[in-house]
Amino acid sequence: MFDLPSLSELLTLLPVILISLTFHEFAHGWAAYRLGDNTARNQGRLTLNPLAHIDPVGFLMMILFHFGWAKPVPVNPYNLRADPARGMLLVSLAGPSANFVLALVASLLLGIGGFQLVPYADYVYYILYLTMQINVILAIFNLIPVPPLDGSKILAGLLPGQSQFIYGMETYGTIILMILLFTGVLGKVLWPLVSFVVNIFLMISKLI
């Protein structure tokens, strides 16, 4: 079972999730563009407009379960200047990396503490903390090596000899993730990692 967020929680979650998912997908498109593939740019995905990236089901999952997905950015690996497997590894790493950067920025702002001088300081603190937490969740979730998540493409780049097998799991990847989610296995693995990384960012914030 899960608890539905209250209206006030929802109004806080929505902008944070939108920003987090948008930067994640934009980073994929930007990395692919820098490596020579214009597919995302030609399809209007090289943008920070959230409407271009949001997948309704993935967005709802993010609100309810604190992990979800956006519309995958289209990438043609054969347009990349790098070897296709290595290129896709770099493109796939860009999304989680963007989320870790956002989490770091939020933790640094928490450490600076300037938000205490503005109205509704407690609310601003909560927004920053939530930004840090959700971006850590999004980054770690996407690093799971199960298609269609980024982790599977990263693993395929690291193990090029197994890439055909890994990509062949694409048909069953979503089913596997749903089974892991609803049996609680995913949470037992994910949440300890999230807590560990969030604590690292909180330690960083205290060093400021």
Q: Does residue 9 have an active-site annotation?
A: no
pTM comes to: 0.89
Model confidence pLDDT, tens digit, residues 132-183: 999 999 999 999 999 889 999 999 888 878 777 887 777 788 888 888 888 8
Q: How confident is the model at residue 63 (pLDDT cuts 50, 70, 90)?
A: confident
pLDDT, tens only, 16-57:
989 999 999 999 999 999 999 999 999 999 999 999 998 888
The count of residues in the chain is 208
Q: What is the pLDDT of residue 1?
A: 45
Contacts 24+ apart (CB under 8 A), 186-194: 186/144, 190/67, 190/137, 190/140, 190/141, 190/144, 193/140, 194/133, 194/136, 194/137, 194/140
89-143 tens-digit pLDDT: 999 999 999 999 999 999 999 888 766 666 677 788 889 999 999 999 999 999 9
Q: Looking at 25, 45, 46, 53, which residue is catalytic?
A: 25
Strand, helix or coil for residue 198: helix
Chain mean pLDDT for the chain:
87
